[in-house]
Structure 1
Amino acid sequence: MLLTALTPLTASAVEPAGERELTAKADSFVRGQMKRAGAPGLAYSVIRGDDVVHRRTWGRDGRGEPVTSRTPFLVGSLAKPVTALAVMRQVEAGEVELDEPVRRHLPWFRPKGEGEKPVTVRQLLNQSSGLSERDGITRADRFDNEPGGVRRLARELAGVTLSAPPGERHEYSNANYMLLGALLEEVTGRPFGEQLRKDVLGPLGMKGAITDSGGAERRGLPPGYRFFFGQPRSFASDFDTSGVPYGYLGASPEDMSAFAAAQLKGARGDAGGLLSPAGFREMHKGTISVHDRHRYGLGWRDDELEDPSARMVWHSGATPGYHGIVVLVPERNLAVVVQHNAFAKNKENLLNNTAFGAAGILLGGEPRQVDEDGWLTWALVVLGVVAVALAAVVGWSGFRVVRPRVRSRGGQRRAPGRAMVGGVAAVTGCLLAASVACFVLPERMGVTLREVLLFAPDMGRLLVAVAGLGVLLAVLRIVVTVRTVLALRRAGRPVPEPERGLVAAPTAR
């Protein structure tokens, strides 16, 4: 999936002039990717060693202002390696042990299916706890900005049923980091955002980072962009303080560059006491298989290029309206940070490939070409056709409410019983279509209708339209069926004969 077509050069083979050429080529690639993705704004940084050696910003934010190196973005799941670093700080301080049960700090966490081996802190970090992806999705994006939101959210997982025994397999879930946020609050005795600023963001120089709704307002977090039938539309989402541990951290390009530089320095043993070199290496090292050569470490993804000396450590993330990715190549002392102010699920691979491709170019290789997934376009077409068809049937049914059909197409009078059966079948079909739109299709995608509306508003609104038309049609079909059955019964009654003597017999001629 990543950069399998690279031919990396050694550091000594890249002269300053050649480096300028590679940087210009990377700029052109990133700019082209921005256009292909339809993102209104983008920030892009290159870090070599301790320094940001190159930074470019293009486009405008959700308020129409030019994107700069200080423009705040939401970073999505890039919050996870930040949270993981905060946990590792507590591990090295002796307050937390990686292989101790989570319930030692959160005694209320008693998931079903733990068995003899309880969920450990390490398993939360490397996403092998057995908490399902859906456990995280159904609890994400609560936009809870009241005090105690991090703990409130985590406590909803107290008795959840695990999808697999702890440690058995990798399953990516926001739920793991919801619990880690609550664990850090318990250990430090401070709100998560306050603790994060003191122990991680402050020491790293991430002065513009946002950890609560007040900070988002002070920093002027602009709206991001979602896509509506292929066109970016500004979306002013609320901040979610309860979601900072897993995805609602805010940070500028300067902040994320400082974070990426600290990862490179930490792996070399020069992180200024923030964490030991062994601690950084343990975070970066993938220990749980995701697929092929892709492994998950403690808050980071660990991949390999074809050349085994060109190892890549990375993580990406998204919220409604924002996307970000950090790519580290520790052995080459290189990092690339890309932040977009737009996101759509079908564009995720394309957005991620912006950073993968730029890193590959800077290593002297060629980027892979990745297109956006076409499934959303087809889904929109199918749902649109279904919605139009339902709307047409709703119109016809409205006409039949006024004029019920009492005869079949052959001119024969219909039987009331058959009309009743047909009506019940039609109502059942309509309600089934509404249920599929509201529940079954989102469930098959691993999300809820609420999440579809947040991340794919065009699909979400079509699903709502199909469901609403299905329910409306069911109501109309009930009315049509009742009126038709009553009309058939009236039409089938015998006409009473006139009483004798009241009508004169015809006169013979």
Structure 2
Amino acid sequence: MQSFKQSGVVRAFSADFCASSSKAMHYFRTFLCFIFAIISLILQPVNAQNSRKSQEIDQYLREIQAKSNIPGFAIAVVTKDSVIFSKGYGADSKGIPINSRSPFAIASLSKAFTAMAVMQLAEQGKMNIDNSINQYIPTFKLADPRGAKMTVRQVLNQVSGLNDKVFPELAFKTEPENLDKAIERLNDVKLADDPGTRFTYHNPNYQILAKVVEQVSGQPFDKYLEANIFKPLQMSGTKSVSSTSALSSSSSGFSDGHIFAFGKAIPLHEPDWFIEGAAGVVSTADDMAKWLRLQLNQGKLGDVTLLDSTTLKMMHNAPTGKPYGMGWFVGKDGTLSHSGILWTYSAEQIITKNGYGVVILFNGGINAFEDYHAFIQGVTDILENKKPEVPTFPAWVFPITLNVALLIGIFFVILRLFRIEQWYRNHQKRPRWKSRLLLFSRLVPMLILVLLPVLVTMLSGRVLSWRRIYLMAPDFLTLFSIVALLNLVLVFSRLLSFNARPLKPN
């Protein structure tokens, strides 16, 4: 844990300095001692407040961790002046305790780094974000004439006209090898909307931007980030990779993240996915603290300036009526935030309106029953002097209850398979339409299972492969599939019974 210690340092320095006074410097040193004393008095309440908040945050995180299935996470809380809290909780998939220097895949938090790279080049006069994409990437040609009008700014703001429905990148069976291949596979795409008209969050937008950075800078994208962002900020534990297959080799301390099943965290290698520009950064809580402080200091950190304050402000503002700036979601109150989610890792970050930055990195991935946002919401509540909410029940209670209900359902379906004769006798007196309706109701679970990818797209706007959907809730989907299959067998068994002994007519 880190917290302010300046007042203690000031008091110690003041005492040593004043004790060494000589007659020649008496008045000058008396004046300086007075100044040091004033500074100490000013800093003391601030330091005490931050120390108290650090203790509250630590206690809250311990409480919510005890209610969660998440194996481990790391957090950093900053102001523009310093890191006031930085710590790790739990362990990685190898059993190694997590600390603030442990590496995590930060997923879509990576987009803000890509956006800054683009804006650095624009600020240097090497490009104009209101120019079209194909002015910088000649090979960028969609099967839609509107694609020629798509600008860099529109792609930054996620209003390019692309979305998962016209380009379902998370449903593809193969992944591109590099950015050139990623751009090439867009050749057959037609836009869903006119560029600049509608916000749709779409990962390939930031793959396009990564390629723009390569074309304009003349450097590989990861090398550009290293030289122009990571190294100047001394983010020594941060690296950019092109594919999830490269995550394990990104750092000596990196380990597999987790999925969740039956109330337990299960280590798993991240499914293959091309993530350069959109979700490819691996970092630590300590490094992300520097990144957040840079944002709070208007593009500067110490003696390092990565971006002019005017340019950074542009990144931190969204187009009128849209929620997304450049790598950041922008709240109506000016709050900046972003979530990142892979199948085995996730992350949350926020810059509050009262000048705090918070980042939390998790080694657990997307799951229907894990609420990662609750962690950062509780921390921001503490920073705003509100009482954070701790869940009443452990996170495993709901999925286990649901799974028990499915197991009970499986038991009763199997029981009914052995009672076909009894069912036939009970339904002989019923009208044919009613018996058919009851049979059809047994097909509903299978219908839901077949239509699940469509339902996911309707609810989230994202198009996912079956495997990716399954990894979101493997226990529930396994048991639900058994329920659906058993009901299908039951329907066929009852239909055979109908054919052998027709029902009584209406």
Interval of TM-score (by shorter of Structure 1 and Structure 2): 0.7 to 0.9
Does residue 282 of structure 1 match 2:302?
no
Aligned residue type for 1:439: L
**Cα 1:315–1:410 shift into 2, 3 Å:** closer
Matching of residues 164-175 of structure 1 within 5 Å: 164-175=193-204
User: Shift in Å at residue 283 of structure 1?
Assistant: 0.9
- Helix, strand or coil: the match of 1:15? helix
Does residue 369 of structure 1 match 2:389?
yes
Q: Select which of 341, 348, 369 maps to 1:318.
A: 341
Distance of 2:396 and 2:484 partners within structure 1: 19
2:270 — aligned with what? 238
Distance of 1:248 and 1:240 partners within structure 2: 12
Distance of 2:394 and 2:52 partners within structure 1: 34
Q: Select which of 469, 474, 479 maps to 1:457.
A: 474
Distance of 2:392 and 2:154 partners within structure 1: 32
Q: Select which of 46, 57, 73 maps to 1:26.
A: 57
Native 8 Å contact 2:299 2:305 kept in 1: no
2:118 — aligned with what? 87
RMSD: 4.3
1:221 — aligned with what? 254
Matching of residues 98-137 of structure 1 within 5 Å: 98-104=129-135, 105=137, 107-110=139-142, 112=144, 114=146, 118-132=149-163, 134=165
User: Shift in Å at residue 99 of structure 1?
Assistant: 1.7
Q: Select which of 459, 478, 489 maps to 1:445.
A: 459
**Cα 1:156–1:14 shift into 2, 3 Å:** farther
User: Shift in Å at residue 382 of structure 1?
Assistant: 7.0
User: Shift in Å at residue 299 of structure 1?
Assistant: 0.8
- Helix, strand or coil: the match of 1:219? coil
**Cα 1:425–1:20 shift into 2, 3 Å:** closer
User: If you compute each CA radius of gyration, which structure gives the higher value, 1 or 2?
Assistant: 1
Distance of 1:351 and 1:319 partners within structure 2: 12
Distance of 2:199 and 2:110 partners within structure 1: 19
Distance of 1:356 and 1:396 partners within structure 2: 47
Does residue 336 of structure 1 match 2:358?
yes
Distance of 1:436 and 1:49 partners within structure 2: 50
- Helix, strand or coil: the match of 2:194? coil
Q: Select which of 93, 103, 123 maps to 1:72.
A: 103
User: Shift in Å at residue 62 of structure 1?
Assistant: 1.6
- Percentage of matched positions with identical amino acids: 23
1:3 — aligned with what? none
Report Cα offsets for 1:85-142 as digits up to 9, x if no partner.
Answer: 1222232233432222223325444265949x83222122112223235557x42387
Report Cα offsets for 1:264-318 as digits up to 9, x if no partner.
Answer: 234468672422222211111233545xxxx32111122355xxxxx43222212
1:5 — aligned with what? none
Distance of 2:112 and 2:393 partners within structure 1: 27
**Cα 1:194–1:187 shift into 2, 3 Å:** same
Distance of 1:153 and 1:466 partners within structure 2: 40
Distance of 1:243 and 1:360 partners within structure 2: 32
1:358 — aligned with what? 379
Native 8 Å contact 1:106 1:183 kept in 2: no
Distance of 1:143 and 1:66 partners within structure 2: 35
User: Shift in Å at residue 78 of structure 1?
Assistant: 0.5
Native 8 Å contact 2:317 2:330 kept in 1: yes
Report Cα offsets for 1:466-509 as digits up to 9, x if no partner.
Answer: 454456557x54xx756975x679xxxxxxxxxxxxxxxxxxxx
Aligned residue type for 2:330: D
**Cα 1:48–1:409 shift into 2, 3 Å:** closer
- Helix, strand or coil: the match of 2:87? strand
**Cα 1:382–1:264 shift into 2, 3 Å:** closer
**Cα 1:297–1:14 shift into 2, 3 Å:** farther
Does residue 265 of structure 1 match 2:297?
yes
- Helix, strand or coil: the match of 2:222? helix
Native 8 Å contact 1:288 1:297 kept in 2: no
Question: Which 10-residue stretch deviates more, 382-391 or 54-63?
Answer: 382-391
Aligned residue type for 2:469: V
User: Shift in Å at residue 391 of structure 1?
Assistant: 6.7
- Helix, strand or coil: the match of 2:248? helix
Distance of 1:296 and 1:260 partners within structure 2: 18
Distance of 1:236 and 1:66 partners within structure 2: 18
**Cα 1:163–1:49 shift into 2, 3 Å:** same
Native 8 Å contact 1:346 1:376 kept in 2: no
Name structure 2 gaps, 5 residues minimum: 1-41
Distance of 1:107 and 1:301 partners within structure 2: 30
Native 8 Å contact 2:166 2:190 kept in 1: no
Question: Which 10-residue stretch deviates more, 429-438 or 198-207?
Answer: 429-438
User: Shift in Å at residue 73 of structure 1?
Assistant: 1.0
**Cα 1:406–1:431 shift into 2, 3 Å:** closer
Report Cα offsets for 1:10-48 as digits up to 9, x if no partner.
Answer: x98953223322222222223333333332212121223
Native 8 Å contact 1:143 1:243 kept in 2: no
1:198 — aligned with what? 227
1:296 — aligned with what? 324
Report Cα offsets for 1:204-233 as digits up to 9, x if no partner.
Answer: 32222243344622524222233324x231
Distance of 2:208 and 2:471 partners within structure 1: 23
Distance of 2:328 and 2:362 partners within structure 1: 20
**Cα 1:462–1:247 shift into 2, 3 Å:** farther
Q: Select which of 160, 175, 179 maps to 2:189.
A: 160
Distance of 2:382 and 2:335 partners within structure 1: 14
Matching of residues 43-58 of structure 1 within 5 Å: 43-58=74-89
Distance of 1:151 and 1:390 partners within structure 2: 49
- Helix, strand or coil: the match of 1:243? coil
- Helix, strand or coil: the match of 1:46? strand
Number of aligned residue pairs: give it. 450
Distance of 2:255 and 2:290 partners within structure 1: 21
Distance of 1:87 and 1:437 partners within structure 2: 42
Native 8 Å contact 2:63 2:390 kept in 1: no
